[in-house]
Structure 1
Amino acid sequence: MQTKQQAFLIEEIWMLTFGGAFQHSGIYKANTKERERTYFRNMLRGYIEHTVLDNYKKEVTDQQHIENIIAICEYTTNFEEVLKAPINIGISQKLLNLALKYYWCLGILPEPPHFPVDRIIQLKIYKQPLVNWTQLTCTDAYMQIVKDVRVLAKKDNQSVAHWELVNFDRRVV
């Protein structure tokens, strides 16, 4: 793929990633100007691209992945003028896992260790009660969903990332 084509797709990926991670989350303070939101997203994207994603060029353990999710949460403490609060575990995992999924599908990075946890995938695994992923503040509930999918993925002889890719269907919900 040519550099301009890849750059275009990566721009689109980040637009989708931020949209997916921040939808219904209400992270911004009232009356925050769009240029301030854009600055925050650009800084966060830069942090993830230049600090976090390099870790995924090789296999990453669950613990390393969780540490990266937490590091993203901690990075957002630098933006108290824009955010109501630093982003939580649920929003951070969705942001990182979506980016990793897109980069994997484009062949830029290897298969990610997890998948974006959201309502759609919980409905697919019939997880009851559903966990409001935008409200997750600890990694325990997140990891329980990953473990539940591991059981299903193992039955299908698949990784969790591949299982989610095959079973995710936005149109069903």
Structure 2
Amino acid sequence: MAAPRICVPGERLGSLDQYEASSGTYTRHGDVYSSLAGYVSVTKQSNGKITNVSTRFCKCIILCVADMPLKENFRGMIRKEDVRATEKDRVEMYKSFRPGDIVIAKVLSLGDAQSYLLTTAENELGVVLAQSEAGVNMIPISWCEMQCPKTHIKEFRKVAKVQPQHILAS
């Protein structure tokens, strides 16, 4: 087994053609760079893409389960009460998710209309990739905010606390 690769902030990790930027990384000129010092790990994550957000729930397409990309689309839904583990009555869906966001979620059950009920009510679950209005991947700055590195505009999200073993790199 090879020794783990160590990276420093600003280090080029790979091309966007091969990898997707995640928490702890940023993109510039078609490449993925480290924004943190630590160990590099490449993994496939369970995720879904948000397609629609309303006041009571959001709809998404399930892209993969565990490390297995899906060959066909499955629909998922995250209800307002399944966004956070605490202060469930204070959740605002538009401050948690936006269309196009990529999230890590867990399946709760088979819901109605042949869609799965999903939850992000753990620290490790939530938005892992979001684009700003400027079309740039945003950087998480807290558990509830992400910031555009180009315009420095902050936007609310239910941000996943991505574990070190899930940070993408080459």
TM-score by length of 2: 0.25
Q: Which has the higher strand share?
A: 2
Q: Which has the higher helix share?
A: 1
